[in-house]
Structure 1
Amino acid sequence: MLRNIIGTFATKVITAGLNFIIVLLTTHYLGAEGRGEISLLVANITLIVLICNVVGGPSLVYMASRHQPFQLALPSLLWALLTPLWTGAGLVLADQVPAGLEMHLMLLAGIEGVYSVSMMLILGWNLIRTHNLIMLGRGFVLFVVLLSLFYVQQPQVMHYIWALYAGSGMVLLVSSVVVFPYFKEISFRSFKSTFRAVVRTGATAQFSNILQFFNYRISYYFLNYFADTRSVGIYSAGVMLSESIWLVTRSVASVQYAEGVNTDDAQKAVQVAFRLARLCFLASLVLLFPLLLLPDSVLTWIFGRDFGDVGGVIRSLAIGTLSVSVSTVLCTYFSGQGRFYVNNWVAGIGFIALLPACFLLIPRWHVLGAGWANSLAYLASLVYVWITFRRETGFRITHLLPTAADWRLVRAFLRRS
């Protein structure tokens, strides 16, 4: 398991590095306005794909080893093809899509919605290395295509769009080739019960993910409404740096989930959650501290003259950043047991705290208000999942401190490597 975590973490670090360079390219050459358009587009695509995953989605990871692949994929793919049309239209009517990008939004969301089905199956079959390599390839393709377009022409937002088509198209092609051999049996026997399970489990699991998306990104929409696209660009740069801290947590969670759904040892799952919560908290604390010390002049030099407020965004998000590092591991513990309703409550409580905070803070303080609002929501979510997990397992705050067993595990791994 530790090897899978490290492999996943390495993949995410490389991908994050490529994404960081892409952010720098867009902030320097397109400014806060262009970066804001890109951030809104990506947020919209993510939202549509989350709705695509209401049928199937992360629940496919849980069900992949328990049901026939064809019967899992068929309803998921049909829903993924239809969803971008009506959700994209809703976002356009809400005036949250940059002008001229409406059709690209629907097409890109459709591509990502379709390939997410095969990627979930790959993860569910515990092909973690394959999953990592495909996502790493997406990052490289996106980066190379964007850099090439910026080099040969005057940089513009459409260059990022074409790079997205290239990266997403590659994932669609390769993931389809990987999963195709698993579809040896095509049968509709017991399809009705499988379909019900896909919809019921997917909707339950994805409801929390959609709410969590709003917890992470609804501030973009508030900023776009109460301020402007330029503010979205500045805020997104600060969010990108803050969320880079979650590389450890997200790497841990993806492996923890894949392992959790394939084990019947409840006590082992609890012990793993204890250890991983410690790892994520301590690693996030170490990574966050240098970011808080960066002066605004350095951040302006990194991102460009439009981004002088990025330091304030990072500081306003600090408490929330640490909160998510721990709550993600605790939520993944419940997901691995198929108890997605706990995560629904976690996300719902965060959303309930976030909405009034956005209305109160963003109109007055703009990007700083958005950061404070998000931190409040993340902290509220952590408090709830912490209490729930503690009642079940006896987890205490002292369990976030490293133990002798943790050091022995690290030393043993290093000797084997």
Structure 2
Amino acid sequence: MIKKIFSTFTFKFAAAIINLLIAVIVSQFLGASGKGEQSILLATISIILLFDNIVGGASVIYLVPRLKIKNVITVAYIWSTLVTIISYFILHFTKLLSSDFNLMIAILSGLSSFVSINSSILIGKEEINKSNILNFIIPFVTIIVLAVLFFGNLCVNINAYLIAIFSAYTLALIVSFFFLKPLISKQEKTSFFGLKKTFKLLTVFGFQNQLAHVFQLLSARISYYLLEYLWSKAEVGIYSNAVSITESIWMISSSICLFQYARISNSNDKKYNINLTETLTRYGMLISFIVILVIIFIPSNLYVFIFGSEFGNINKIIWLLAPGIWLFTYALIIGHFFSGSGKYYINAIASGIGLLVNIISLYLLVPKYHFYGAAISASISYICTSLVVLIFFKKAGGKFILFPKYSEIKILIKDAKKLIIK
């Protein structure tokens, strides 16, 4: 267990470092306004992906052990293609972004969705390391292409970033096909009845699961659009960097969740699933707490040195974000207990309440307190979501224990040492 989680964490940590370097390069070359524009483009791609993932998201992980892979891939790919086409026309007619970006954003969302589908299939088959490699390729290729374009003075604007992530998603998709090939039986045949059944199951589970993700992503990123509308893209750039740094603690819980979700999806033992979740939650909360303490005490001068003179307020924003983002670690891990058990509606309820709280607090705070108001709103929202998840978990028979016992910490350290020595 520890070996798989540690392996995932290693990949995610490396990816997080590269993503930080990407943020630094974009901030230094394009300034706060350019960083804000990049954040809005990424948020838009993420929102489109929410609809892609109604059929091709986490429900794939849950259903892959139970359905034919060919049927899952066929249905998920057709759905993602339709969403990609529709998203282009929605962007075109709503004029949410500059018309120059509409086609590229739609294409990028489609590529990202295909990679996500293939990655989810690998996780469903417990091929977690291969999924980790795919997710590492994306930031790795992005920073290489971005560095060539920026430092070579070939393209020093937001288009360079779009070219970089297009290259990254394309390569990741090609590699993912090689990973999937051994898993797909040549004897598998698709039929209309099989595709219809697969679509129904993916939609039922996917809609419930994605409803939670829709609420959660809107809660986390709606502030970007509000800050741009009320204030400026520069405020979005500053705030988004603070959010990215603080949310980096989630790579701990996401490393845990990847193993947890794959294991619970393949298990019908409720007692085992609860005990596993409680154990992982305690360790996740402790490690995240240590990391968040380090982050909040990084001085403002360092952020100015790294990102540029416009980013001096990042430390203050992080202090406001930290309580909610740390407590949300609890909701992330417990939430995957419900997802792995097929009870996606619980996460949807919790995230829906969090979104409602966030909208109200954003309306009250952002017009007066700028990005500080957005940070306070986010923290309140995350805390509310975590409390709702806790209530449901206790009703399911779980217990609330924030940190592991000293004896458990000693065992964890002992196992970690053995892993490092190996």
TM-score range relative to shorter protein = over 0.9
Q: Which residue of 2 aligns with 1:214?
A: 218
Asked whether the equivalents of residues 285 and 402 of structure 2 are also in contact (C-alpha less than 8 Å), the reply is: no
Cα RMSD (Å): 1.6
The alignment status of 1:29 with 2:33, answered yes or no, reads no
Q: Which residue of 2 aligns with 1:373?
A: 377
Deviation, 1:296, is: 2.1
Work out the CA distance in 2 between the residues paired with 1:49 and 1:183: 28
Post-superposition Cα deviations, 1:286-333, rounded to whole Å, max 9, x if no partner, equal 111122222322221221011122112111101111111111011011
What amino acid is aligned across from residue 168 of structure 1 in structure 2? Answer: Y
Q: 361-370 or 133-142, which moves further after superposition?
A: 133-142
The alignment status of 1:312 with 2:316, answered yes or no, reads yes
Work out the CA distance in 1 between the residues paired with 2:169 and 2:253: 24
Q: Which residue of 1 aligns with 2:414?
A: 411
Work out the CA distance in 1 between the residues paired with 2:267 and 2:406: 25
Indicate which of 347, 353, 359 corresponds to 2:357. 353
Q: 89-98 or 2-11, which moves further after superposition?
A: 89-98
Q: Which residue of 2 aligns with 1:176?
A: 177
Deviation, 1:91, is: 4.3
Deviation, 1:128, is: 0.4
Asked whether the equivalents of residues 274 and 399 of structure 1 are also in contact (C-alpha less than 8 Å), the reply is: no
Indicate which of 285, 288, 297 corresponds to 1:284. 288
Asked whether the equivalents of residues 40 and 98 of structure 1 are also in contact (C-alpha less than 8 Å), the reply is: no
Unaligned runs of 5+ in 1: none
Deviation, 1:401, is: 3.6
SS in 2 for 1:55: helix
Deviation, 1:95, is: 4.6
Post-superposition Cα deviations, 1:117-156, rounded to whole Å, max 9, x if no partner, equal 1111111111101111122122211111111111211522
Asked whether the equivalents of residues 55 and 199 of structure 2 are also in contact (C-alpha less than 8 Å), the reply is: no
What amino acid is aligned across from residue 411 of structure 2 in structure 1? Answer: R
Asked whether the equivalents of residues 75 and 198 of structure 2 are also in contact (C-alpha less than 8 Å), the reply is: no
Asked whether the equivalents of residues 142 and 163 of structure 1 are also in contact (C-alpha less than 8 Å), the reply is: yes
Q: Which residue of 1 aligns with 2:66?
A: 66
Assess, with a 3 A threshold, how the Cα gap between structure 1 residues 91 and 230 changes in structure 2: closer, same or farther.
farther
SS in 2 for 1:400: coil
Unaligned runs of 5+ in 2: none
What amino acid is aligned across from residue 109 of structure 2 in structure 1? Answer: A
Matches within 5 A, 1:102-113: 102-113=102-113
Q: Which residue of 2 aligns with 1:136?
A: 136
The alignment status of 1:298 with 2:302, answered yes or no, reads yes
Assess, with a 3 A threshold, how the Cα gap between structure 1 residues 95 and 407 changes in structure 2: closer, same or farther.
farther
Asked whether the equivalents of residues 92 and 99 of structure 2 are also in contact (C-alpha less than 8 Å), the reply is: no
The alignment status of 1:20 with 2:20, answered yes or no, reads yes
Q: 33-42 or 305-314, which moves further after superposition?
A: 305-314
Asked whether the equivalents of residues 331 and 386 of structure 2 are also in contact (C-alpha less than 8 Å), the reply is: yes
The alignment status of 1:343 with 2:347, answered yes or no, reads yes
The alignment status of 1:247 with 2:247, answered yes or no, reads no
Work out the CA distance in 2 between the residues paired with 1:106 and 1:28: 27
Work out the CA distance in 1 between the residues paired with 2:99 and 2:299: 35
Matches within 5 A, 1:44-123: 44-91=44-91, 93-98=93-98, 100-123=100-123
Deviation, 1:375, is: 0.5
Q: 36-45 or 407-416, which moves further after superposition?
A: 407-416
Post-superposition Cα deviations, 1:235-272, rounded to whole Å, max 9, x if no partner, equal 10100110111110111111110111112222121111
